[in-house]
């Protein structure tokens, strides 16, 4: 992604590795402070994942793969048996850094499987390095292909509504829904991006606006419940969101608030697109009804975290101490409300599980 820092333009990735040193954009202080975090050991990288220095399914997966490469490099033995034992121990620790992110364990497993093909420790190290870079390059290719395919769905002058952060910070190097928006902007077809703030964590306000500002993509921020207003005024030509999980029947689990945008789009005859790599499809999950929905602490609803008047990040309290709150992280949008899925293998208007299976097999590793 291109970033403007102190008047200069940098080409940078959210998570990268050079000579077994991992560098991450520290997302905790964005948009108020741009800082790169340098991580010299695999344990440092694990701690950074835990501390949310990076976030987003793709970036967490890449960070996990790089931690595996660092671990393989740091385990100082030439005995294969000992190496395997210590590597598996490290893999367990890395997987647990964010236990719910499917991408993280997929990336770790991909590195472990690659190592099996080596006979010496040195061979295994090389194979893990390659596998880790493959996790990154797979995301980079997928987001590029999604971006290109999705951008073709948008007519000149399109005004697009998006939700949460689905950008280069979360899945490198173009993002999913935000990748489509980037490519549409490059094609000159984008008139406006409406960004919903995405309470309770405000990924829209904090991260999506920041990414759009890096590339001078025209945008306006709205509170989540102002999206209906945009539709009544005829201001939205398409909705594009990402997905956390897609069931075999095409039902979509995504950040809380996605469903309302789908219903609004449906009511107003506006297309509703879901941009997601094929790895997001969970064919073992038959429908949205089978998806468990994480609920988080009430405190996140009673408070809002931002930059304090005194500087630094911190919370303000917005409801009485004892207020009970319901804080579901995702909602389910039924397949019938999705106009099309934008994947790295093209646009899918109907979800046929067998077709998805074939596409996944063809695409090799997909984070």
* Count, residues near a second copy per rule CB under 8 A: 62
* Beta strand 245-247 pairing with 252-255: antiparallel
Pattern 64-103, binding to a second copy, x per CB under 8 A? ----------------------------------------
Residue 43's Cβ-count burial label (10 Å; 0-12, 13-18, 19+) is middle
Q: Work out which of 210, 273, 281, 341 binds a second copy, going by CB under 8 A.
A: 210
215 part of the interface to a second copy, by CB under 8 A: no
Query: Could you tell me if 80 and 136 are in contact, meaning their C-beta atoms sit under 8 angstroms apart?
Result: no
Cβ proximity to a second copy: between 292 and 364 the closer is 292
Cβ proximity to a second copy: between 99 and 311 the closer is 311
* Beta strand 219-222 pairing with 190-196: parallel
Which letter does DSSP use for residue 280 in this model?
G
DSSP 191-220: EEEEEE--TTTTHIIIIIHHHHHHTT--EE
219 part of the interface to a second copy, by CB under 8 A: yes
Pattern 251-280, binding to a second copy, x per CB under 8 A? -----xx-xx--xx--x-------------
Query: Could you tell me if 275 and 176 are in contact, meaning their C-beta atoms sit under 8 angstroms apart?
Result: yes
Say how far apart CA 62 and CA 172 lie, in whole Å. 9
Q: How far is CA 260 from CA 166, 252, 302, 322, 325, in A?
A: 18, 13, 22, 28, 19
Does the annotation count 92 as an active-site position? no
355 part of the interface to a second copy, by CB under 8 A: no
Residue 98's Cβ-count burial label (10 Å; 0-12, 13-18, 19+) is buried
Nearest distance from C-beta of residue 315 to a second copy, angstroms = 7
3-state secondary structure of 267: helix
**Which range in 41-49, 142-150, 228-236, 347-355 contacts a second copy by CB under 8 A?**
228-236
Pattern 179-198, binding to a second copy, x per CB under 8 A? ---------------x-xxx
Give the distance, in angstroms, between the CA of residue 29 and the centroid of all CA atoms in the same chain: 18
Pattern 129-168, binding to a second copy, x per CB under 8 A? ----------------------------------------
The one catalytic residue among 129, 173, 244, 251: 244
Q: What is the dihedral of CA 46, 36, 61, 175, to 10 degrees?
A: 160
**Which range in 37-45, 87-95, 137-145, 293-301 contacts a second copy by CB under 8 A?**
293-301
Say how far apart CA 148 and CA 144 lie, in whole Å. 6
Give the distance, in angstroms, between the CA of residue 13 and the centroid of all CA atoms in the same chain: 13
**Which range in 14-22, 93-101, 179-187, 308-316 contacts a second copy by CB under 8 A?**
308-316
Nearest distance from C-beta of residue 189 to a second copy, angstroms = 20
Cite the active site residues: 244
Which residues are near a second copy by CB under 8 A?
31-32, 194, 196-200, 202, 205-206, 209-210, 213, 219-230, 232, 256-257, 259-260, 263-264, 267, 293, 298, 301-310, 314-320, 322-328, 331-332
């Amino acid at each position: 992604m291109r970033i403007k820092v102190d008047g200069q333009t940098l080409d940078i990735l959210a998570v990268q590795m050079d000579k077994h040193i991992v560098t991450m954009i520290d997302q905790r202080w964005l948009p108020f402070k741009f800082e790169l975090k340098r991580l010299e050991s695999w344990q440092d990288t694990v701690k950074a994942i835990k501390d949310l220095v990076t976030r987003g399914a793709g970036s967490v997966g890449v960070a996990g793969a790089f931690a595996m490469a660092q671990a393989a490099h740091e385990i100082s033995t030439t005995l294969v048996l000992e190496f395997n034992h210590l590597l598996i121990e490290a893999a367990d620790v890395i997987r647990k850094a964010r236990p719910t992110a499917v991408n993280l364990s997929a990336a770790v497993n991909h590195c472990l499987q690659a190592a099996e093909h080596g006979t010496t420790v040195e061979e295994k190290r090389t194979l893990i390095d390659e596998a880790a870079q493959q996790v990154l390059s797979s995301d980079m290719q997928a987001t590029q292909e999604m971006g290109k395919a999705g951008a073709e769905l948008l007519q000149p002058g399109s005004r697009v509504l998006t939700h949460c952060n689905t950008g280069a910070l979360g899945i490198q190097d173009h993002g999913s829904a935000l990748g489509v928006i980037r490519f549409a902007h490059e094609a000159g077809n984008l008139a406006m991006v409406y960004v919903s703030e995405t309470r309770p964590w405000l990924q829209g306000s904090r991260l999506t606006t920041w990414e759009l500002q890096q590339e001078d993509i025209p945008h306006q921020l709205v509170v989540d419940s102002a999206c209906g207003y945009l539709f009544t005024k005829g201001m939205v030509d398409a909705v594009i969101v990402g997905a956390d999980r897609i069931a075999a029947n095409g039902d979509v689990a995504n950040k809380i608030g996605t469903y309302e945008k789908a219903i609004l789009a449906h009511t107003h005859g506006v297309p509703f697109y879901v941009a997601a790599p094929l790895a997001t499809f969970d064919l073992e999950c038959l429908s949205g009804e089978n998806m468990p929905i994480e609920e988080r602490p009430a405190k996140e609803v009673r408070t809002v975290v931002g930059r304090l008047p005194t500087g630094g990040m911190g919370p303000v309290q917005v409801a009485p101490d004892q207020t009970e709150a319901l804080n579901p992280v995702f909602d389910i949008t039924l397949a019938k409300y999705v106009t099309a899925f934008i994947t790295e293998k093209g646009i899918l208007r109907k979800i046929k599980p067998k077709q998805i299976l074939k596409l996944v097999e063809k695409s090799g590793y997909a984070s």
